[in-house]
Structure 1
Amino acid sequence: MSAASGGQRRSARMVNLPVEHVIEYRDNDQIYHGFDNGRIYQVDRRTGLILGLLDLPN
C-alpha cells in the first residue's frame, strides 16, 4: 500500500470492503479498511487518517 499524501481523513462515501477482499485485508485494533471508488483504504482507528490505499484492478 502506498502512503496517502497530506494525512487526509476518510471519506464519508467509504463503505465496507467487498466480500472477496475481507480475508486479505483484515481490520485490527489499530487500523480498519474501507472501500470507495475502486480503492481499498487503510484508516487509523484513533485519528481517522488514511494511512494507505490500494487501487484494485478493474
Structure 2
Amino acid sequence: MHRRVDPFDRRRVLAHLTERGQEYWRRLDRAVRAGRPTLGDGDDLLRSLLGRLAATLEGAAHV
C-alpha cells in the first residue's frame, strides 16, 4: 500500500494499493465470487441491489 498526504487537504492521507495488493485483491475477489451461490429467477430485486452495492464498492476502491 502506498500512502501520501492529500495535496488539497493536508490533514488527509490518501492510500492506494500497490500492484501486488491489486493482484491479491483480484485473486480474493475471484475466490469469493466462485464460492457465491447463484440467485434464482425470483431474485431480481436482490440481484439489482447487490449489483449496485458491488459497483459502489468498486468505485470506492479506485478513489
Specify which structure has the bigger relative contact order, considering alpha-carbon pairs within 8 angstroms and separated by 6 or more residues. Answer: 1
Which structure: larger Rg?
A: 2
Q: Pick the structure with more helix per residue.
A: 2
Q: Please identify which structure carries the higher strand content.
A: 1
TM-score by length of 1: 0.24
